[in-house]
Amino acid sequence: MIIFLKKDITAKMEKKLHELLAFRKVDVISVNRRDQRLLVVTGRFPEMTRREVEDHIAVESILETDRPYKLASKSFKTDPTLVKFNGKLRIGGSEIIIMAGPCSVESKSQINQMAKHMKESGTHVLRGGAFKPRTDPYDFQGLGKIGLHFLKNAAKMHHLGVITEVLDVRAIELIEKYTDIFQVGSRNMQNYPLLKELGHCRKPVLLKRGMWATYKEFLLAAEYILVGGNDKVILCERGIRTHVPETRFTLDLNAVAYLKQETHLPIVVDPSHGVGRASLVRSMSKAAIAAGADGLLIEAHHDPRHSVSDADQAISTTELTKLVLEVKKVARAVGRS
Ligand code: PEP
Ligand code: MN
């Protein structure tokens, strides 16, 4: 159950509503969105109380939802959510948004070269990790703050947006200064303190699906961000663990079709981690767009074999150019651009 508050209510009117709810033992969480204030009912809500609340002077309307992810569900909002960033870019509209770049920011010259190639290929957003979640603690962990600086400057030079990963609550403030979109990695999909804190930010969050996660767990993770008041959430399917040893993960495109029915949030696909092999990325990118994805997140490198991280799945800049051209054809075929 969601209680929508009227726009122009006074503090006194709101206090009276909270008193009524407390008296009727109804627990709620207040959500302050950019353009809307609401109360999410977390437990019981007897029919009698419902009528009383509906008639309250502070209440606009009440919405019933049968999904646990109340704010992410289609019953809360039927129109697709358009996530705007970097001035004029929007994810979730008819245009397919391409985010591409290296797995990690390796040096100033590497990211500058990549940004130039990305722009030429038709990419909208430059990706690059400065803080890397590596399975092996002895592997390259990212350049940190200086990496963010290189990334932002390179993107600015070529008029690209920026997406980079945030691993830790303590780094949010720093990363917010450099990025247009926060990336939450697969391994952090259930890092609830991180999700809660990002819920208080105003920049978009691209939330990757945990490699083990069900759709319900994925949407509930998104709900953590939404309930904090940040309505700019982008879901990202990046492959799950299956029994198949030939690819790094299995890109689950069922997720795209299913989530499109279940949520108003935009969905992006990361075919690079999904397959783990550069030669398969182009095919799966096209499949993702055909399945209804709103964008792609792709790992590319000017010298893939020497990529410091995820070298096997990094595609060359020539391959990326080809990929973007072919993806655009598929996009047009399915009524997108
Ligand atoms: C990445 O994008 O480089 C990354 C670490 O992705 P994931 O969280 O999907 O493994
Ligand atoms: Mn990677």
pLDDT digits (tens, 9 = 90+) for 41-87: 998 898 889 999 999 999 999 999 999 999 999 999 999 999 999 88
pTM for this one?
A: 0.96
* 129 C-alpha to ligand 2 centroid (Å): 8
pLDDT at 97 over 90: yes
* Weakest mean pLDDT among 21-25, 31-35, 120-124: 31-35
Instruction: Output the residue whose Cα is nearest ligand 1's atom 8.
Output: 185
| pLDDT grade for 34, boundaries at 50, 70 and 90 | confident
- The pLDDT, as a whole number, for residue 87 is 85
The answer to whether 62 touches 261, Cβ cutoff 8 Å, is no
Q: Which atom of ligand 1 is nearest to the CA of 185?
A: 8
The count of other CB atoms within 10 Å of the CB of residue 131 is: 22
- pLDDT above 90: residue 148: yes
Using the atom order of ligand 1, give the atom closest to the CA of residue 183.
Answer: 2
pLDDT value of residue 35: 82
pLDDT, position 47: 87
Q: What is the average pLDDT score of the chain?
A: 96
Give residue 63's pLDDT.
95
Structure tokens at 61: 């309307």
Q: Fill in the DSSP letter of residue 290.
A: H
pLDDT tier for residue 19 given thresholds of 50, 70 and 90: very high
Residues in the chain: 337
Residue list, CB under 5 A from ion ligand 2:
103, 310
Find out whether 266 and 83 touch, Cβ atoms under 8 Å: yes
| DSSP annotation of 314 | P
> What is the whole-number distance in angstroms between the Cα of residue 311 and the centre of ligand 2?
9
Tens digit of each residue's pLDDT (9 = 90 or more) over 175-215: 999 999 999 999 999 999 999 999 999 999 999 999 999 99
Write out residues with Cβ below 6 Å of ligand 1: 103, 129, 133, 185-187, 208, 238, 270, 273
Q: Where are the alpha helices (DSSP H) in the chain?
A: 11-23, 47-54, 108-121, 145-157, 172-178, 192-198, 215-227, 254-262, 271-275, 278-291, 317-333
**Which three-class secondary structure state does DSSP give residue 299?**
strand
